[in-house]
Structure formats: C-alpha cells, structure tokens
C-alpha cells in the first residue's frame, strides 16, 4: 500500500504535466503519408509503466491503482483530438503525427512529443517518463 501511495504522489506531481501533453505542431501537407502515420497512434492508451528518476512502477501497483479507480489514459482520435484522463479529470487538446514513430500532443497550447517504441507510447515531462499500452 505504501508503494501505491508513493505512485499516487508521483502522479499528483505530474498532474500539472497534463498541460504539457498534447499534439499540435508539425506541418501537414495534406498528403496520404501523414494519414498512414496517424493510424498507428489512434486509440485509447492506458498507463503501463512509470519511471521517475530511476524508480520504475509497473504491473501489480498499476493494477491496484486501476482497481481503486485511479487510471491514467490518453485517447487519440482520428479527428486530431486528444484527451488526457488523470484519475477521472479530463484535459482536452489536439494531436498530430510527426512521423511514423512520433506524434505531438498539445494541451493548453503546450506541445510534447510522444514516441512509439514497439507497442508502447512514451511521454516524458519533468523527469517522469510514462509508458502507455493501447487498450
């Protein structure tokens, strides 16, 4: 339980990062190549790991948090809308594929890169790296 409390405290610290997560930048020349990139990102992504200064949280702790209703997701829609859901508090923004492995998520006018690595999507802000798996 202590570890869950530490994870919750770390996630509370990154609650402010919701303003940093989103997709927004990048030029879109309207070509079909951009659409091909976008398909890899579209969907609901659920938190799967967190690395804060080398302290890695995965598996059982995240499952316990989810059971308590403390879930973190990012939804990237086909229409370019993004929703960051932190424990039920939703922040809306936009997103756009930058290339086959990177998208830019913009929340409150602040863009952040999200990178695909294998089947996971990673975001990093304020020294905290969060990994998400597609639901």
CB 81 within 8 A of CB 43: no
The pLDDT of 68-97, averaged and rounded, is: 94
Distance separating alpha carbons of residues 76 and 72, to the nearest angstrom: 14
Looking at the domain that runs over 2-134, which CATH code has it been given? Answer: 2.40.128.640
Q: What is the pLDDT of residue 74?
A: 96
**Neighbour-count burial of 84, counting CB atoms closer than 10 A to its CB (0-12 exposed, 13-18 middle, 19+ buried):** buried
* Structure confidence at residue 46 as a pLDDT band (50, 70, 90): very high
Q: What is the pLDDT of residue 123?
A: 92
* Structure confidence at residue 115 as a pLDDT band (50, 70, 90): very high
Tell me the sheet residues that pair with 97.
103
* Structure confidence at residue 69 as a pLDDT band (50, 70, 90): confident
Give the number of C-alpha atoms closer than 13 A to the C-alpha of residue 116, restricted to the C-beta side: 18
What does DSSP say about strands 72-76 and 55-58: parallel, antiparallel, or unpaired? Answer: unpaired
pLDDT of residue 58 exceeding 90, the answer is: no
Q: Phi and psi for 126 in degrees, rounded to 5? A: 50, 35
Q: What is the pLDDT of residue 13?
A: 44
Q: What is the pLDDT of residue 26?
A: 41
């Amino acid at each position: 339980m202590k570890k869950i409390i530490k994870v919750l405290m770390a996630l509370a610290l990154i609650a402010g990062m919701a303003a940093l997560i989103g997709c927004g930048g990048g030029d879109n020349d309207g070509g079909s190549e951009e659409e091909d990139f976008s398909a890899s990102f579209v969907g609901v992504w659920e938190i799967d790991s967190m690395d804060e200064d080398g302290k890695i949280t995965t598996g059982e702790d995240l499952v316990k948090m989810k059971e308590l209703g403390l879930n973190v997701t990012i939804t990237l829609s086909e229409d370019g809308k993004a929703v960051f859901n932190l424990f039920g508090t939703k922040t809306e923004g936009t997103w756009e594929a930058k290339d086959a492995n990177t998208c830019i998520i913009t929340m409150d006018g602040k863009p952040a890169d999200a990178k695909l690595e294998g089947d996971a999507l990673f975001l990093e802000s304020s020294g905290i790296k969060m990994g998400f798996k597609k639901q």
